[in-house]
C-alpha cells in the first residue's frame, strides 16, 4: 500500500519541502550565534533574550495555530506563517539594537509556530490509512533541514557572504514557498464523520491523552534538544574527545534520528504505533542512561567507541517519538485534531525553552556529568508519558 494516496502526493511533497526549510530555519540562528556576537558585541544575556523571544513566540503560536486552522483553514494559516517568518528573517540583524532583534526573533517564532502546526495537521489528514508512516517521513524532512542548515551557513560564510545575507536568502525561500502555497490546490480527504445524533462530542480535557501528549512532547523535545546541544561538550569534557571533531557527534545523533524517521515507515507496515512509541522511547532512555554511566568510567578509545554507538542509538530511539505522538493524538481526537495537536506541540516548545536553562544550572552547580545524567531521568518521565498515551489511544 502506498505511503500517501497518489491524489495527495504533490501536496505531500510540497509540505515535505516546507518542513525541510523549516528545519533549516530552526538551526541557523544557533549556528550563526558566534558571528552575531562578534558583529554586535552582545553579551550572552542579550543573545539569550533574543533566543528566548523566538522560543516563547514559537511555542505560543503552535497553540494559537491549532485554533487558527479551525477558523482560517490550513492554507491561510500556512500563508500567515510563511509571510511572518519571511519578514522576520528579512530584517533580523539589519541593526544591532537588541530590542528590534528581539521583536524580529519573535516574528520568526510566530511564523515557525504556524508553519509547524499546519504541516503536522495536514500530514495527519493525508494519512488516510492511519498508519503513521507519512508523519514519520515528514519529520525526517525536519531532520534533513536541521542537518543541512548549519552546513549551508558554514559553506556560504566560507564563500565570503555575510551572515545577514544568509538570513536574507532564507527569507527569499520562505517567500517562494508563500507563492507556492498561494497557488497550490490544498485538496484534503473528507473530514471524519460527526458523532451520531444524540451523542455529546467529547471534550478535550476529559481525555487523559490530551494532557499526556503535552507531557510526552515536553519531556521528549527537552531531552532531544538538550542531548543534541550538550553532546559535543560532554564528550570533550568527560571522554577527552578531540575538540576539532566534537561537532561530528551532533551529526551522529541526527543521523540516527534521520535513519529511524525514514527507516521505520519504509520497513514497518503494521498498525501498532503504540508499541513502536514505547519501544523506541525505551531505547532512547536506556542509551542515554548508558552514556551517563560511561561518563563516570575511565576515558579512553574503547570508552569513546562505546559512547559513540550509544549516541547513534539514542538518535535512533528518539526518531519516531514526535510523529507517532501526533499520529496517536489525531486518532484520539478526530473532530478536534488541530486544537489537540496545537496543545501538544506547545508542550514541546516549552520543553525546548526550559531544558537548556535547567541543564546549564545543574552543570554549573554539580558538574556536567550530573547535568547530563538528568536527561536519563527525564527520559524515564518521557517513556512513562508515552506509555500512558499509548494506553489511552488503544482504549479508544
The yes-or-no verdict on residue 207 having pLDDT over 50 is yes
Of 186 and 382, more confident? 382
Is the model's pLDDT at 355 over the cut of 50?
A: yes
CATH topology of domain 208-396: Growth Hormone; Chain: A; (1.20.1250)
Mean pLDDT of the chain: 83
Torsion, CA 319, CA 322, CA 325, CA 331, rounded to 10: -100
Q: Do domains 1-185 and 208-396 have the same CATH topology?
A: yes
Q: Residue 377 pLDDT more than 50?
A: yes
* 44 vs 141 pLDDT, higher one: 141
Report pLDDT for 114.
94
At 198, is the pLDDT very low, low, confident or very high (cuts 50, 70, 90)?
A: very low
Length of the chain: 396
Better pLDDT: 256 or 131 = 256
- Domain positions in the chain are 1-185, 208-396
Tell me: pLDDT of 313 over 90: yes
Lowest mean per-residue pLDDT among 24-33, 342-351, 364-373: 24-33
Q: What value, to the nearest 5°, has the Cα angle with vertex 52 and ends 51 and 53?
A: 90
How is 347-379 classified by DSSP, letter by letter? HHHHHHHHHHHHHHHHHHHH-HHHHHHHHHHHH
**Residue ranges of the alpha helices (H) in the chain?**
9-40, 44-72, 74-91, 98-126, 133-158, 163-183, 208-239, 247-267, 273-294, 301-318, 321-332, 337-366, 368-395
Q: For the segment 28-82, what is each residue's pLDDT rounded down to a tens digit?
A: 776 677 778 788 888 767 877 887 788 888 888 888 887 888 888 889 999 999 9
Q: Report the predicted TM-score, pTM, of the whole model to 2 decimal places.
A: 0.76
* pLDDT at 2 > cutoff 80: no
Name the architecture of domain 1-185.
Up-down Bundle (1.20)
Mean pLDDT, rounded, for 331-335: 73
**CB 135 within 8 Å of CB 14:** no
Amino acid at each position: 500500500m502506498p505511503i500517501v494516496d497518489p491524489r495527495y502526493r504533490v501536496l505531500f511533497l510540497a509540505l515535505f519541502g516546507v518542513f525541510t526549510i523549516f528545519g533549516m530555519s530552526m538551526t541557523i540562528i544557533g549556528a550563526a550565534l558566534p558571528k552575531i556576537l562578534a558583529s554586535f558585541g552582545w553579551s550572552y544575556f542579550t543573545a539569550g533574550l533574543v533566543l528566548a523571544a523566538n522560543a516563547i513566540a514559537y511555542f505560543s503560536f503552535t497553540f494559537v495555530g491549532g485554533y487558527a486552522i479551525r477558523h482560517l483553514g490550513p492554507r491561510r494559516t500556512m500563508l500567515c506563517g510563511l509571510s511572518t517568518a519571511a519578514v522576520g528573517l528579512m530584517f533580523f540583524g539589519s541593526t544591532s539594537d537588541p530590542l528590534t532583534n528581539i521583536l524580529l526573533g519573535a516574528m520568526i517564532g510566530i511564523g515557525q509556530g504556524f508553519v509547524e502546526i499546519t504541516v503536522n495537521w495536514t500530514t495527519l489528514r493525508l494519512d488516510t490509512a492511519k498508519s503513521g508512516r507519512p508523519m514519520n517521513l515528514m519529520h525526517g524532512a525536519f531532520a534533513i533541514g536541521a542537518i543541512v542548515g548549519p552546513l549551508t551557513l558554514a559553506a556560504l560564510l566560507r564563500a565570503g557572504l555575510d551572515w545577514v545575507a544568509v538570513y536574507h536568502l532564507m527569507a527569499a525561500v520562505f517567500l517562494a514557498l508563500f507563492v507556492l502555497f498561494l497557488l497550490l490546490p490544498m485538496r484534503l480527504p473528507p473530514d471524519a464523520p460527526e458523532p451520531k445524533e444524540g451523542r455529546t462530542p467529547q471534550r478535550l480535557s476529559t481525555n487523559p491523552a490530551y494532557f499526556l501528549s503535552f507531557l510526552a512532547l515536553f519531556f521528549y523535545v527537552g531531552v532531544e534538544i538538550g542531548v543534541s546541544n550538550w553532546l559535543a561538550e560532554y564528550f570533550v569534557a568527560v571522554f577527552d574527545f578531540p575538540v576539532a571533531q566534537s561537532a561530528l557527534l551532533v551529526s551522529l545523533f541526527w543521523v540516527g534520528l534521520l535513519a529511524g524517521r525514514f527507516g521505520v515507515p519504509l520497513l514497518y507496515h503494521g498498525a501498532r504505533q503504540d508499541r513502536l512509541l514505547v519501544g523506541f522511547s525505551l531505547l532512547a532512555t536506556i542509551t542515554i542512561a548508558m552514556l551517563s554511566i560511561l561518563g563516570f568510567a575511565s576515558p579512553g578509545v574503547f570508552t569513546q567507541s562505546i559512547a559513540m554507538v550509544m549516541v547513534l542509538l539514542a538518535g535512533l530511539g528518539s526518531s519516531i517519538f514526535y510523529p507517532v505522538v501526533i499520529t496517536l493524538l489525531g486518532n484520539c481526537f478526530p473532530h478536534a485534531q488541530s486544537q489537540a495537536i496545537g496543545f501538544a506541540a506547545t508542550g514541546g516548545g516549552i520543553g525546548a525553552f526550559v531544558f537548556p536553562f535547567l541543564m546549564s544550572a545543574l552543570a554549573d552547580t554539580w558538574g556536567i556529568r550530573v547535568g547530563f545524567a538528568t536527561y536519563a531521568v527525564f527520559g524515564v518521565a518521557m517513556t512513562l508519558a508515552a506509555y500512558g498515551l499509548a494506553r489511552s489511544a488503544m482504549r479508544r
